[in-house]
Structure 1
């Protein structure tokens, strides 16, 4: 968690719209963590999958699924502390990917 906070601060400067993508997947790309907490499990997974696919440029569904589950779990863990806040789902996804070692340094 100590690593996550500085990464989240860094990522909060990056526009969430850079990773936002509307499509057949989830619809939480531009949502806050409060909305994430209220969304269905299927919507959370679909959104995490969309974001992981887009950010990591990963198009293999077999490789995508476990990474998306890890990111979904991380976002949900962080979202518990931000139920009333305006932290963006996309920003949190990037911070989670960094914490999980998915992003190149």
Structure 2
């Protein structure tokens, strides 16, 4: 169950990280509210997941999900550059996330 909670925390990290773009430096009210809510939810779920997972593993997976997902959304909806190198290194990040998941047992 901790891994599913961690996945949800990572997905919320994608939401708040991408939401930062839409807050325009926290000058837009509703995007700022949604970003802060997603951030709080992500942190809360991470704190729940680390009850059963090692903090180093959980944090690395959380950051990896957020980084990869935010990069994909950046390329898909924010017209950020797409290159073979970026895709290759995001694939490596995905492999690292899976490696951490399958090499760590919940306590």
TM-score by length of 1: 0.34
TM-score by length of 2: 0.34
Structure whose alpha-carbon radius of gyration is higher: 2
Which one has more relative contact order, counting CA pairs under 8 Å at least 6 apart?
A: 1
